């Protein structure tokens, strides 16, 4: 984001924090430190307004599935306690890392850190195809 719009972003964040202080009730917090709120009173189409204040940079992929379902009114129960999982087989949620240093690239991609010089050779017992002579 350019510097010309940084004041717009700061003003928007200040407005959200003011609305949260005046009208919001803390419902829960997830493992990333995101805090979930809903309106104390007043409803829109029969449902309370719900929102999240992100910890750190505002990145929607940091919201785990339980938080997404609650924000969109798919469930009414508040978020589970931090670190609590409903199912033992459920893997921990990871945000989208596309465009960051930790992004995952397939072997052979020029930006892949695991492959040498952008070539796939000897990976998992595979060999490059050689045309018949």
Question: Tokens at residue 27, please?
Answer: 């419902």
pTM to 2 decimal places: 0.62
Q: What percent of the chain has pLDDT over 70?
A: 77
Q: How many domains are there within the chain?
A: 2
Which range marks the domain in which residue 111 is found?
100-133
Q: What percent of the chain has pLDDT over 90?
A: 3
pLDDT tens digits along 8-63 = 777 777 888 888 888 888 988 888 888 999 887 766 667 788 999 988 878 888 88
pLDDT tens digits along 117-132 = 444 455 555 677 888 8
Domain co-membership, 56 together with 112: no
Domain co-membership, 65 together with 7: yes
- CB 120, CB 105: distance < 8 Å: no
CB neighbours of 33 closer than 8 A, spacing ≥ 6? 55, 56
Q: Is the dihedral of CA 115, 117, 118, 119 positive or negative?
A: negative
pLDDT tens digits along 49-62 = 899 998 887 888 88
Residue 86 in any domain: the answer is: no
Domain co-membership, 18 together with 67: yes
């Amino acid at each position: 984001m350019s510097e010309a719009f940084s004041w717009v972003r700061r003003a928007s964040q200040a407005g959200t924090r003011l609305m949260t202080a005046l009208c919001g009730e803390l419902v829960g917090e997830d493992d990333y430190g995101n805090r979930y709120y809903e309106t104390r009173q007043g409803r829109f189409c029969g449902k309370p307004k719900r929102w999240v204040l992100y910890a750190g940079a505002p990145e929607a992929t940091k919201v785990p599935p339980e938080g997404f379902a609650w924000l969109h009114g798919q469930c009414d129960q508040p978020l589970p306690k931090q670190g609590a999982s409903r199912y033992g087989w459920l893997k921990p949620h990871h945000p989208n890392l596309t465009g960051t240093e930790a992004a995952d690239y397939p072997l052979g991609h020029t930006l892949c850190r695991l492959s040498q010089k952008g070539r796939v050779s000897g990976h998992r017992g595979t060999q490059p195809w050689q045309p018949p002579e």
